[in-house]
Amino acid sequence: MEKREIFPFTAIVGQEQMKLALILNVINPALSGVLIRGEKGTAKSTAVRALAEILPQIEVIKRCPFRLQASETGEICKKCVVGDCPSSRDMDCVPETCMAAIKVIELPVGATEDRVVGTMDLEHALKKGEKRVDPGILAAAHRGILYVDEVNLLDDHVVDVLLDSAAMGVNTIEREGVSFSHPARFTLVGTMNPEEGELRPQLLDRFGLCVSIEGAHDPEERVAVMERRAEFDDDPKAFCQRWQEESRALSNKIERGISLYPRVTIERPLLFEIASFCLDVGVDGHRGDIIILKTAKTLAAYHGRTEVTSQDVAHGAELALPHRIRRKPLQEVASDVNALRNQNRKGKAV
């Protein structure tokens, strides 16, 4: 079967905040995800799916169903009840590794808990007296991107499972006295239309960044959207080829960002700026501070700098804070963080 072409990430018109948020997460997985809030038909899903094309490669163990890295083997491999990789039988062997692209795994809204967590084939166990595990979506998403469309419509107990593994980086398959755990650390990317209901605060907090998007208002931009789409539908292959150059340039920029990140520094006054930003707008806890800092550093790395600027901090706050601002019960998520801050400051000055 011929590979279906995906609309290239770089060819998406506008939606700069969303694209940036996604790129930053690729450069620095510690940002722990993006929540994309917005109306229907704003290229949310297209962007996330297209991300796969520009993702860098990581080292994984060959044939490992959990896509472990070399440092993660050991205890888990001894108990592994799935794979047929040599390390599950022979503890002394040095596992073979290979390079593989980071994956984007989609979690469908209707997914059952079994599908997400993984299942134990109980009937098999009853008949043969041995365990057999079928790993779920969380196993596949380890070290990759877990994409949840309409994340606000997920069943509550699937949300619980997501929260558990997001918090601990571990997923546990448990049925009838059998328990098997494997690492599950992923970048959580969710999209939602706020009109259909809000997220629970804890889940909201798990998303590092949050962007609100809407359709373009500029007619010219709208026309550009239509044109590109038509071009793509006409001849996907040729279209993708035309954008190949740009995609490669972006991949390179991302890779440079990744290698630059550890060397990025920030001056202390800017840390105070971050703290006062969070205090001014009123956020719960300290995760906001930490995420702004990481976002600002990632931004600097992305732009090829090793020094964080105050613009990076302001931009980082814009991405990291909207969903963290303390709200009265039943109040909606803030849209403009900087405006809110100025307003609050004015309020205090008076």
Active-site residue list: 287
Among 174, 233, 235, 267, binds another protein (CB under 8 A): 174
Give the interface segment with another protein, choosing from 151-159, 215-223, 239-247, 306-314 (CB under 8 A). Answer: 151-159
CA distance 112 to 116: 6
- Interface with another protein includes 78 (CB under 8 A)? no
Q: In Å, how far from its chain's centre is CA 336?
A: 22
Contact letters (x/-) for another protein, 30-59, by CB under 8 A?
A: x-----------------------------
Comparison of 137 and 250: residue with beta carbon closer to another protein: 137
The residue ranges of DSSP E strands in 197-347, in sequence order, are: 209-213
- Interface with another protein includes 322 (CB under 8 A)? no
At its nearest, how many Å lie between another protein and the CB of residue 237? 42
Among 278, 300, 301, 317, binds another protein (CB under 8 A): 278
Site residues for another protein, 195-234, by CB under 8 A, read: 195-198, 200-202, 205
- Interface with another protein includes 342 (CB under 8 A)? no
Give the interface segment with another protein, choosing from 4-12, 31-39, 237-245, 273-281 (CB under 8 A). Answer: 273-281
144 in helix, strand or coil? coil
- Interface with another protein includes 305 (CB under 8 A)? no
Tell me how many residues contact another protein (CB under 8 A).
Answer: 84
At its nearest, how many Å lie between another protein and the CB of residue 332? 5
Comparison of 152 and 212: residue with beta carbon closer to another protein: 152
Give the interface segment with another protein, choosing from 33-41, 120-128, 139-147, 229-237 (CB under 8 A). Answer: 120-128
- Interface with another protein includes 183 (CB under 8 A)? yes
| 8 A C-beta contact, residue 66 and residue 142 | yes
- Interface with another protein includes 3 (CB under 8 A)? no
Give the interface segment with another protein, choosing from 1-9, 87-95, 143-151, 178-186 (CB under 8 A). Answer: 178-186
Closest C-alpha to 296, from 308, 286, 304: 308
- Interface with another protein includes 286 (CB under 8 A)? yes
Comparison of 34 and 250: residue with beta carbon closer to another protein: 34
Contacts of 102 (CB under 8 A, 6+ apart): 26, 52, 55, 56, 57, 58, 143, 144, 145
Residue carrying the six token digits 């098999």: 124
Among 12, 70, 105, 125, binds another protein (CB under 8 A): 125
Closest C-alpha to 302, from 293, 312, 292, 314: 312
Tokens representing 20? 């940036």
CA distance 271 to 81: 47
Residue 232 has what DSSP assignment?
H
For 66-75, the CB contacts below 8 A with 24+ separation are 66/135, 66/139, 66/142, 66/182, 66/183, 67/100, 67/103, 67/139, 67/140, 67/142, 67/143, 67/144, 68/142, 68/183, 69/97, 69/143, 70/95, 70/97, 72/183
